[in-house]
Amino acid sequence: MSKKTGEHDCACGKGLTRRGFLSTAGATTAMVAVGGRVNVNVAQAAATEITSEEMAKVTLEINGRPQRLLVEPRWTLLFVLRDRLGLTGTKVGCERGECGACTVLIDDRPQYACMTLAVEAAGRKITTLEGLMEGEQLGPTQEAFLEEDAFQCGYCTPGQIMAAEGLLRANPAPTAEEIATGMSGNLCRCGAYTHIFNAVKTAAEKNRS
């Protein structure tokens, strides 16, 4: 019987081909690994496995109301606001502290919710976009953004509004340069910065009137 190129009978004369030998050897090695060292490693991994972290009890003061929650220590404030409390005005952006879409106020200062752990915010005053409204009535900063057409796609707008609100709470009458500096942590991919800066100026005037 003819043989395929590269296939040879083994010395035992039982017609095992080179391909068959390699397949058998590979399977045997795998069986040894599973039966030996791998099992040991699995046992070691099981012994050092990290269990689920204990839930922490926290009370978050959000928009003037206390919210008592059980949270994992690793949960961000952004996750808790949106996925646990349904406050979706706070947007998910880069989730690495670069775009500002998730900006909220903590003790009246703008802060990225994606870079803040929920447990860190316990006992502090948190304000989200929803907290600027009186029922269905927009707050002055929100109205100013609407009047000045300070958005295009609108995705960054909640974070822009919260950054503006924080700036005006700290500085009720900012100069143009102070507005540009105060809003520099919030990116607008549509490039509506001129309208955004005008909105901040208009909001400052509304607050003073």
Cβ–Cβ under 8 Å, residues 177 and 127: no
d(CA 188, CA 186): 7
d(CA 35, CA 66): 56
Give pLDDT, residue 54.
83
pTM here is 0.75
Cβ–Cβ under 8 Å, residues 92 and 77: no
> Residue 110's beta-bridge partner residues?
105
Output DSSP code: residue 50.
Answer: P
Give pLDDT, residue 209.
84
Q: What is the pLDDT along the chain (209 residues), one digit of tens a residue?
A: 444 444 444 444 445 454 554 454 454 444 434 444 444 454 454 544 434 568 999 999 999 999 999 999 999 999 999 999 999 999 999 999 999 999 999 999 999 999 999 999 999 999 999 999 999 999 999 999 999 999 999 999 999 999 999 999 999 999 999 999 999 999 999 999 999 999 999 999 999 98
Q: Which residues contact 148 (CB under 8 A, 6 or more apart)?
A: 195, 196, 198, 199, 202
DSSP per-residue string spanning 76-135 = BHHHIIIIIT--TTSPP--SSSSS-TTEEEETTEEEEGGGSBGGGGTTSEEE-GGGG-BT
Give pLDDT, residue 36.
43
- Across the chain, how many H-helices and E-strands are there? 7, 5
Give pLDDT, residue 41.
52
